[in-house]
Amino acid sequence: MEVALRNSAAVARRAHALRPCATALLPSSQFRSYTRPSRPPPNYPGHVPLNTLEKAALAIGSGLMSLRDPRRGDLIATFAETTCTPYFIYRLRNAMLSSPTGRCILRDRPRITSTSLNLPYLRSLPPNTVGHTYITWLDREGVSPDTRSAVRYIDDEECAYVMQRYRECHDFYHALTGLPVVREGEVALKAFEFANTLLPMTGLSVFAAGTMKARERARFWETYLPWAVRNGLRAKEVINVYWEEELERDVEDLRRELGVEPPPDLREMRKREREERRRAKEAAAAVASSGSV
């Protein structure tokens, strides 16, 4: 009996000693599948593949946070990329494919940077040109074309470029409409872009109007939202403008061709309001001073 127990114990010890060896003989891919979830390889440089749950979590988180702080361009970019599929970015890509100019853009894949546009040359153009209007707007607002985030979360490589193109053309839309980068101007331009592109991010951005001051909010609902909807719906697809080839063109001619009328000058309106408040404050102070005497 004792001999039998010793033999059984020896067999158990040998089996335990062989267990790591048996595990090591398993194919490495099979072993990894039990230790971490698999992720497909990226489709282009910088691409981060996400599953449906990950995209949903990023969309909700970035959307809520960007409503709290509309200045967070990184959050707005993330929300745009995680909500544009499976329909909206393909609709925009198809709009480009249906246009001869859009097809040229997709073929050439130009990028808008301070180097590709030759900003000193744009400053030398006549004031009525698209290029001079664009560079004047950049200089006035203190904006650079080199600050646009790279697309990361769109799986289709061509659609990723469409989103990148939309993102880099945003300042041209500002220059075309004259809207400044203050919150009121950004929300008005996003409303225009939503009516023209249907990208969900641009529609969500309109809700940031609730964070404006009462006077700004009233002006947005009464003046700039109707302008944005009217012009965004009737204008041609602005994604199909090959801006690099329009720089020497008369800006008013391009506006007429696209069907875009500039809205009332928001910077001038805000400046007049500040002047009125300053004068009212000075008048009230003068009345108070004379009364005390």
CA–CA dist 272, 146 (Å, integer): 32
The segment with the largest mean pLDDT, out of 24-38, 77-91, 100-114, is 100-114
Encode pLDDT of 177-233 as tens digits.
Answer: 999 998 899 999 999 999 999 999 999 888 888 888 899 999 999 999 999 999 999
CA–CA dist 193, 186 (Å, integer): 10
Q: What percent of the chain has pLDDT over 90?
A: 60
CA–CA dist 125, 138 (Å, integer): 15
The most distant pair of C-alpha atoms in the chain lies apart, rounded to whole Å, by: 119
- Residue 21 tokens, joined: 């060896």
Report the run of H or E that residue 20 belongs to, with start and end: helix 2-24
Encode pLDDT of 233-257 as tens digits.
Answer: 999 999 999 999 999 999 999 999 9
Sequence ranges of the binding site for Zn(2+): 170-171, 174, 186
The residue with tokens 């062989």 is 18
Rg (CA), the chain: 29
Sequence ranges of the binding site: 170-171, 174, 186
